[in-house]
Amino acid sequence: MPPRDIERLCDAVVPGSGAIEIHPLAKGLTGETYRLVRDGTAYTFKAAGPHAAEFALDMAWEERLLEHAGGLSLSPALVYCDATRGFMVSRWVEGCPWSPEEATSSVNIIKMAALLRRVHALQIPQPPRSMNPLSWVQVYGAALSRRGGAALDTTLRAAAESRFDEFNRLPAAAGAVCHSDLHGLNLLSRDGSLVLLDWEYAHVSDPFWDLAGWAANNDFEAPAQGALLTHYLGGIPAPSDWRRLRLLMGLYDYVCLLWSALYLCLCRGGGEGIARRATQLDARLRLPAHYAVP
């Protein structure tokens, strides 16, 4: 987005009266992010990208959610949002993301479990944005079909459908707010507390979806998965807890593979990191033992 357009959108909504400094941070298919500075105070400006609808993003629901999450310091404090025009401004948060090694440390697994309990206790904005793994598969599959993207391996799709059928036979869990995009760059550590960024994929679902996402995105092996489950539940996980987690990990990996396929279909050049991750996910999904209950 041209700086003059950002200035025009933000002049009346960013506190202060001085000139607005604009520093580009990231630009992709689903959105653009900038760091703004006005009168010595920093903000984050996010604008919806040209293909946000293809990825089923809902800024209006995200706004209602961030009003709660920001008030509890789970997310940056929301300053202004205009879902109709597709942009939001929030307070800038200083902090450091965890490295992969830090994410697997015992102390930080305990911290992450506590953070997820707080996220899942958030008030659900009404009407709820309820999704499940099959919803995401259908969203990305339909978008790939519209865009002429290559269909994924039928073996992987059949495995995902089998996992979803098995998941549906489990006792239903009470729906909770799930961040749904938990990876190292979306978490900042500051002064001993944790803040989550980028809530655009948040929705109401089984709370284990977030545990599965954090474990999958950080390539957790069984010991780290077990520690996360134990500290989240506050006790030794039952076989049924392991079954729910491992089923959702397989479904999460498949959804991420579909997301990657759609992104690579839509992008024009680049995407090497996403392509590498897609290759890793494809290989992992072909290892049933990775998702078997220990």
Claim to verify: residue 210 and residue 122 sit in the same structural domain: yes
The total domain count for the chain is: 2
Query: Which of the residue ranges 99-108, 139-148, 267-276 has the most confident prediction, judged by mean pLDDT?
Result: 99-108
Are residues 59 and 107 located together in one domain of the fold?
Answer: no
**Stretch 261-285: mean pLDDT, rounded?**
89
Q: Is 120 in contact with 210 (CB distance < 8 Å)?
A: yes
Q: Considering 46, 67, 91, which residue would you say is the last residue of a domain?
A: 91
Which two structure tokens, joined as six digits, stand for 288?
A: 């049933």
- The answer to whether 54 and 144 are in contact (CB under 8 A) is no
C-alpha distances out from residue 182 to 193, 205, 214, 265, Å: 16, 14, 5, 23
Interatomic CA distance for residues 236 and 224, integer angstroms: 13
User: Domain span at residue 159?
Assistant: 100-291
Tens digits of residue pLDDT in 192-250: 899 999 999 999 999 999 999 999 999 999 999 999 999 999 999 999 999 999 999 99
Say whether both 21 and 110 belong to one domain.
Answer: no
Q: Which amino acid is at 15?
A: P
Give the model's pLDDT for residue 191.
Answer: 85
- H-only helix segments in 45-185: 59-71, 100-103, 106-120, 133-146, 154-168
CATH of the domain at 217: 3.90.1200.10
255 and 234 assigned to the same domain: yes
C-alpha 44, offset from chain centre: 18
pLDDT at 76: 97
| CB-based burial label for 165 (10 Å; 0-12, 13-18, 19+) | exposed
Return the CATH number at 76: 3.30.200.20
pTM for this structure? 0.95
